[in-house]
Amino acid sequence: MSAPRPVHILILSGPNTNLYGLDPHGPYGALTLDDIAQACRARAQAQGGSVDFRQSNCEGELVDWVQQARGTADGIVINAGSLSYTSIALRDALAAIAKPAIQVHVSNVFTREPFRHHSPLSAVVTGCVFGLGPEGYAQAVEALIARIGRTD
Catalytic residue flag (residue 8): no
Phi, psi of 123 (to 5 degrees): -75, -15
Catalytic residue flag (residue 118): no
- Answer yes or no: is 129 a known binding residue: no
Distance (Å, rounded) from C-alpha 101 to C-alpha 121?
A: 10
Catalytic residue of the set 8, 20, 25, 28: 28
Catalytic residue of the set 20, 25, 85, 105: 105
Distance (Å, rounded) from C-alpha 127 to C-alpha 143?
A: 9
- Answer yes or no: is 92 a known binding residue: yes
- Answer yes or no: is 107 a known binding residue: yes
- Answer yes or no: is 84 a known binding residue: no
- Let me know how long the chain is: 152
DSSP 105-118: ESS-GGGS-GGGG-
Q: Which residues are catalytic?
A: 28, 105
Task: Output the known binding site for substrate.
Answer: 79, 92, 106-107, 116
Task: Output the known binding site.
Answer: 79, 92, 106-107, 116
